């Protein structure tokens, strides 16, 4: 597994060739007028359709770890994650947006809460309501969007925990990293995986056995509550086998005039610093 990961990371970090496997947008799409842009099959969210927000969950930490590779020493199937962030009004890419992501490890544990039993449902879904158990930082990180609105992360395919389908949390905010209390979050949401990919990954020894069954997207009340099929990543295998690595892509459309209530300055000051 370690040799496979080294090969995977070499592909991702040196040449960037992996990212050409799936075009984010058809040629010339961003040159079109907003009225001409429609949902793109196989990408996920429609370019000009605002991505639905979801709760932050209880495991957000405002540590602002600016890094592309968030894996640390966690074992799991390698995952390249590419997101393109666009303006829901103009359909143009948004640069200098800070994208935070955080997710659980292969066995369903979050850094900062790694001593919480993932086979038991969390007592609360609200941010800051579950006391941290440790100072670990695996599978958390942030990147600024480039001039094309793109951010890329190297991580592992997440596991699952009681009461939830497999997902990745993310937020979008101003890239001002100096003023913690003045952060303005434009968007807080979650990303999901196609069922066929999740099923194939979860039979691997790194993700099993577990004492609980995995929820499918359709059985997750949070996913279905916002009709969030548009937030399912497009995922392709890097090689013939998922162990060779996976590449997930999606286009997110947000409104910079929107102020999210899912993570507020009060949350940052009181709970998550």
Residue 78 sits at φ, ψ, to 5 deg, of -60, 140
| 258 within some domain | yes
CATH code where residue 186 lies:
2.60.130.10
The pLDDT-based confidence of 198 (bands split at 50, 70, 90) is very high
* Residue 186 pLDDT greater than 60, yes or no: yes
* Residue 129 pLDDT greater than 90, yes or no: no
* Residue 21 pLDDT greater than 70, yes or no: no
Most confident of 33-42, 159-168, 220-229: 159-168
| 68 within some domain | no
* Residue 32 pLDDT greater than 60, yes or no: no
| 39 within some domain | no
* Residue 138 pLDDT greater than 60, yes or no: yes
* Residue 13 pLDDT greater than 50, yes or no: no
Residue range 165-183: average pLDDT? 78
Between 120-129, 138-147, 153-162, the lowest mean confidence (pLDDT) is in: 120-129
- Look at the alpha carbons of 219, 231, 197, 104 in this order and tell me if their dihedral is positive or negative: negative
* Residue 94 pLDDT greater than 70, yes or no: yes
| 247 within some domain | yes
| 160 within some domain | yes
Domain containing residue 195: 78-269
| 61 within some domain | no
* Residue 206 pLDDT greater than 60, yes or no: yes
pLDDT score for 240: 86
Residue range 31-54: average pLDDT? 51
The pLDDT-based confidence of 184 (bands split at 50, 70, 90) is confident
- Number of structural domains (the chain) is 1
Most confident of 30-39, 89-98, 118-127: 89-98
pLDDT score for 15: 33
| Per-position DSSP letters for the chain, written without gaps between them | -HHHHHHHHHIIIII-GGGGSS-SS-TTGGGS-GGG--PPTTT-S-TTSPPPP----TT------B-SB--TT--S-EEEEEEEEEETTT--B--SEEEEEE---TTS--TT-TTS-TTS--S--STT-S-------TTEEEEE--TTSEEEEEEE-----TT-BSEEEEEEEE---S-GGG--EEEEEEEE--HHHHHHHHTSGGG---SSPPBPGGG-HHHHHTTGGGGBPEEEESSSSGGG-EEEEEEEEE-TT---SSS-HHHIIIII-
| 142 within some domain | yes
| 188 within some domain | yes
């Amino acid at each position: 597994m370690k040799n496979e990961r080294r090969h995977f990371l070499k592909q991702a970090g040196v040449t960037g060739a992996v990212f050409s496997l799936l075009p984010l947008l058809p040629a010339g799409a961003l040159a079109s007028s907003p009225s001409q842009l429609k949902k793109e099959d196989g990408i996920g969210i429609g370019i000009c359709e605002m991505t639905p927000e979801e709760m932050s969950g209880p495991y957000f930490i405002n540590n602002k770890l600016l890094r592309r590779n968030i894996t640390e020493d966690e074992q799991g199937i390698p995952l390249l994650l590419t997101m393109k962030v666009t303006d829901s009004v103009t359909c143009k890419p948004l640069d200098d947006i800070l994208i935070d992501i955080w997710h659980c490890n292969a066995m369903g544990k979050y850094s900062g809460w790694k001593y919480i039993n993932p086979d038991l449902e969390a007592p609360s879904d609200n941010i800051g309501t579950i006391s941290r158990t440790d100072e670990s930082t695996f599978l958390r990180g942030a990147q600024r969007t480039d001039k094309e609105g793109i951010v890329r992360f190297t991580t592992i395919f997440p596991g699952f925990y009681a009461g939830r389908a497999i997902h990745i949390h993310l937020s979008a905010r101003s890239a001002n990293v100096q003023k913690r209390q003045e952060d303005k979050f434009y968007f807080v949401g979650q990303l999901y995986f196609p069922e066929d990919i999740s099923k194939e990954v979860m039979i691997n020894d790194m993700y099993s056995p577990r004492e609980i069954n995995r929820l499918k997207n359709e059985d997750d009340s949070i996913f279905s509550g916002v009709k969030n099929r548009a937030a399912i990543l497009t995922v392709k295998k890097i090689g013939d086998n998922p162990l060779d690595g996976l590449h997930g892509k999606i286009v997110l459309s947000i409104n910079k005039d929107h102020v999210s209530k899912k993570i507020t300055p009060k949350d940052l000051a009181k709970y998550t610093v």
